[in-house]
Amino acid sequence: MIFHVLTIFPEFFRGPFDHGVVARARNAGILDLRIHNLRDWTSDRHKTVDDRPFGGGEGMLLKPEPLFEAVESIWPERGPVRKVLLLSAQGPLFNQAAAERYTALSEILLICGRYEGVDERVAEHLADEEVSVGDYVLSGGELGAAIVVDAVARLLPGVLGNGDSAVFESFSSASLTGSGGRVLDCPQYTRPSEFRGWGVPEVLLGGNHEEIRRWRRQAALQKTARLRPELLESAKVKKVLPE
């Protein structure tokens, strides 16, 4: 899968994509990451990428011409397996279902917004989708782009050592309660079995795998009810959860 990132801060991406799972996917040839400097598609002496909003207001916007020039030169042809995503605070929230949906694409081009935003014609006529990574204010789309690349890359076949480990985790859309809600991972422990006076649930130290399975299920539901109650949609599930 090829990811293109269009940004005014190409050096921002020297860190996040050079470690861990994403770096391994790149080295294995499963993932090809191409960082593009938006200023390469300006035509004035000052390499201007921004301008003031019509009608007045605070701050500056990314102007449309360099963004259109860039996308049209990176992709002279568009198509159903190529998607342009505009990272913006206005988009629908990125989630695991979106990450899974994007794995069906062959190429994704991520446009990183900056300043007070991006000329709306980019959202309307250049991007296929707008994407936000959460309800908080970031100073640009670069961190969002890194989040999308990470979440999608680790789902690509061959990226994780164990093919199944992506399927059974906290936010996989496969990790559902009977009623369609999602549950978080169960609490997990490693050695030592006693640390600063804090022990490990006794059941995990024994070898009764049926009992361990039941405990994990119950502990996961309780933890979900405590930390993310909104994930447990149905009243039926809520009733099972006195802590």
Q: Evaluate whether 21 touches 150 at the Cβ level (below 8 Å).
A: yes
Q: How far is it, in rounded angstroms, from Cα 146 to Cα 12?
A: 10
Task: Identify which of residues 1 and 86 has a Cβ nearer to ligand 9D3 in the complex.
Answer: 86
Task: Identify which of residues 87 and 232 has a Cβ nearer to ligand 9D3 in the complex.
Answer: 87
Backbone angles phi and psi of 151, in degrees to 5: -65, -35
Provide the terminal-to-terminal Cα distance of the chain, rounded to the nearest Å.
Answer: 44
60 counts as binding ligand 9D3 under rule CB under 6 A: no
Whole-angstrom CA distances from 32 to 75, 88, 163, 208 are 15, 23, 20, 45
13 counts as binding ligand 9D3 under rule CB under 6 A: no
Q: What is the DSSP string of 111-124?
A: EE--TT-B-HHHHH
- Quote the least distance from Cβ 71 to ligand 9D3, whole Å: 17
133 counts as binding ligand 9D3 under rule CB under 6 A: yes
> Which of 13, 33, 67, 113 contacts ligand 9D3 by CB under 6 A?
113
Give helix 142-153 / helix 20-27 axis angle, nearest 10°.
Answer: 60
> Which of 140, 146, 177, 182 contacts ligand 9D3 by CB under 6 A?
140
Q: How far is it, in rounded angstroms, from Cα 205 to Cα 201?
A: 7
> Which of 50, 69, 100, 116 contacts ligand 9D3 by CB under 6 A?
116
Q: How far is it, in rounded angstroms, from Cα 51 to Cα 48?
A: 8
**92 preceded by a cis bond (ω within 30 of 0):** no
Task: Identify residue 114 by its one-letter amino acid code.
Answer: R
7 counts as binding ligand 9D3 under rule CB under 6 A: no
Task: Identify which of residues 11 and 44 has a Cβ nearer to ligand 9D3 in the complex.
Answer: 11
- Region from 36-44, 61-69, 81-89, 152-160 binding ligand 9D3, contact rule CB under 6 A: 81-89
Task: Identify residue 113 by its one-letter amino acid code.
Answer: G
Per CB under 6 A, which of residues 160..189 are in contact with ligand 9D3?
none
β-strand partners of 184: none
Task: Identify which of residues 87 and 184 has a Cβ nearer to ligand 9D3 in the complex.
Answer: 87
> Which of 144, 149, 152, 184 contacts ligand 9D3 by CB under 6 A?
144
96 counts as binding ligand 9D3 under rule CB under 6 A: no
Q: Which residue is nearest to ligand 9D3 (CB)?
A: 144
The contact set with ligand 9D3 (CB under 6 A) reads 87-89, 113, 116-117, 132-134, 136-141, 144
